Amino acid sequence: MADTLKDRHFHFIAIGGVGMSAIAIYLAEKGIKVSGSDIQESKYTDKLKKLGVDVSVPHNKNLIKEGMTIVCSSAIHSDNVELKRAKELNLEILHRSDMLALIGNSFTDNNAKFFGFSGSHGKTTTSGLCSYVLEKGNLKPSFIVGGIINDLGYNAQYGSDDYFSAELDESDGTIIKYYPNIFVVNNLEEDHLDFYKNGLIDELKTFKQVIDNLKPGSKIIINNDSEGCRELMKYASKGNYITFGLNNADYTARNTELKENGISFDIEKDGKIIDTLELSIKGKHNVYNALSVYVALKEANTDVKPLLPHFKTFSGMGRRYQFVTEFNNIRIYDDYAHHPSEIKTTLESAKQSSKNRLVVIFQPHRYSRLKGLWNDFLTAFDSADELILTDVFSAGEEKIEGINSENLIKEMKRGVYFKGSLEEIAPKVLTQLKPNDIVITMGAGSITKLGALIEKESKIRV
């Protein structure tokens, strides 16, 4: 299988990122020759070195040799010394998405199972959960997902040529490169307005192109409760859709119980209860996540009965309401949520599971998202007892006049805005906290580092 990978040498520019390293890990475990470089070492480069991958720091044009295939992401600029050298040698240069497509589509081409998880929210959790239950069920899946699976400690592996699970990113339109035979659309909402200038209609056009490219017999597992998904089914009406949801769908969650230690629900098909799922992760959104994975496995003709217990032992993904630290009876969690509906859902779940004061520290991600979804952000934090906003994480975007955290706080008429670096605001945040607080740092940028900085500041003050 995947002869397109055999006997090739792939060199990754910026190999140490979570997405690039995942692909490199898969290739290395499959026995493909891999090398790479980055500006600094990381836990991902450490794992790659243990797999025998030659990782160099920093970038160096002399690393680029004749016969290599170069892999890079959109973060690599045209003036990068290695990329310039690769162009001088007229080497094949693949975008990260091209590489993932080369891997994933080979499973479809060989009549194996390629589970592609997409949608505005839940891609990382669903692709991780699918990979986890297959791995725990001894089915030896291959997978490349967008975060660390907590219970496994890694985000990628080459297991076998039978199952492949991957997170398919729609943010820049590269999702059209993939043709999974089990395509999961967990939800669709307006987002990534830097790319989708006309909002949801542009996203629907992109997803229709994906669906039109799917091979005959491919199945689309789609959330019937999502308005955007229902629009997609009308817009791309020729898809082979299998619906899931909490109301009227092919597979419906019934008798849902939100418990202190997780969730349980029955699964109904054709008017009959066919299975029951128990989860250790919380929140109504995880009913959808788990149900979509169950349906994907079921529709792939996988024997799900032996896999059911592993749904319960799944504890989630890195940066998804992930515990960071505890001090002075203050517990700090970190969450990747950066879209208003993600924020709202996560905070509602957190509030349901604890009666303690909920303090949210949010770092807006991208000026374009903050501008495009401004009104939605105004009500996204209603479940928070206290709200702190940091400066916007630009992700390389230029500032937009008037679109900033200070003005958002003013319009919400609640909360506080702290200006400056995370190191500068950590002591200010600490003064806002009280014993027994539940604190969540939220956002897709550097905010994940703040919890450790707050704890460090607390020790200085002792």
Mean pLDDT of 182-211: 93
Give the count of beta carbons closer than 10 Å to the beta carbon of residue 137: 19
For 296-333, how does the pLDDT look when each residue is reduced to its tens digit (9 = 90+)? Answer: 999 999 999 999 999 999 998 877 778 899 999 999 99
Q: Where in the chain is the domain with CATH 3.40.1190.10?
A: 99-313
Predicted local confidence at residue 2, as pLDDT: 42
Predicted local confidence at residue 1, as pLDDT: 40
Taking all residues of the chain, what is their mean pLDDT, rounded to a whole number? 94
Long-range contacts of 430-434 (CB under 8 A, 24+ apart): 430/454, 430/457, 430/458, 430/461, 432/359, 432/386, 432/388, 433/328, 433/330, 433/359, 434/330, 434/357
Predicted local confidence at residue 460, as pLDDT: 77
- Give the Cα separation of 379 and 214 in Å (integer): 38
Predicted local confidence at residue 241, as pLDDT: 98
Predicted local confidence at residue 64, as pLDDT: 97
β-bridge partners, 351 = none
More confident residue, 72 or 194: 72
Lowest mean pLDDT of 28-32, 337-341, 423-427, name the range: 337-341
Predicted local confidence at residue 256, as pLDDT: 95
Predicted local confidence at residue 425, as pLDDT: 96
Residue type, 306: P
Q: Where in the chain is the domain with CATH 3.90.190.20?
A: 322-460
In terms of residues, how long is the chain? 462
Assign 192 a pLDDT band (cuts: 50, 70, 90). confident
Instruction: Give the pair of three-digit tokens for residue 155.
Output: 């985000």
Which residue intervals of 197-284 are DSSP H helices?
200-213, 227-235
Mean pLDDT of 46-75: 94
Cα 225 to the center of its chain, rounded Å: 21
Assign 353 a pLDDT band (cuts: 50, 70, 90). confident
Predicted local confidence at residue 3, as pLDDT: 56
For 426-450, how does the pLDDT look when each residue is reduced to its tens digit (9 = 90+)? Answer: 999 999 999 999 999 999 899 999 9
User: What does DSSP assign to residue 449?
Assistant: G
Predicted local confidence at residue 459, as pLDDT: 83
Cα 49 to the center of its chain, rounded Å: 25
322-460: CATH architecture: Alpha-Beta Complex (3.90)
- Give the Cα separation of 404 and 352 in Å (integer): 30
Mean pLDDT of 28-46: 93
Is 221 a residue whose pLDDT tops 80?
yes
Predicted local confidence at residue 233, as pLDDT: 97
For 255-302, how does the pLDDT look when each residue is reduced to its tens digit (9 = 90+)? Answer: 999 877 889 999 999 999 999 999 998 888 899 999 999 999 999 999
For 368-384, how does the pLDDT look when each residue is reduced to its tens digit (9 = 90+)? Answer: 999 999 999 999 999 99
C-alpha dihedral sign at 340, 343, 346, 351: negative
- Give the Cα separation of 358 and 432 in Å (integer): 12
- Give the Cα separation of 53 and 33 in Å (integer): 8
What is the Cβ-side half-sphere exposure of residue 149, based on CA atoms within 13 angstroms?
Answer: 28
Q: Where in the chain is the domain with CATH 3.40.50.720?
A: 9-90
Percent with pLDDT over 70 in the chain: 99
Residue type, 133: V
Q: What is the reported pTM?
A: 0.85
Q: Looking at the domain 9-90, which fold is it?
A: Rossmann fold (3.40.50)
For 134-181, how does the pLDDT look when each residue is reduced to its tens digit (9 = 90+)? Answer: 999 999 999 999 888 999 989 999 999 999 999 999 989 999 999 999
Q: Which CATH number fits domain 99-313: 3.20.20.140, 3.40.1190.10, 3.40.50.11540, 3.40.50.150?
A: 3.40.1190.10
Is 98 a residue whose pLDDT tops 80?
yes
Assign 109 a pLDDT band (cuts: 50, 70, 90). very high
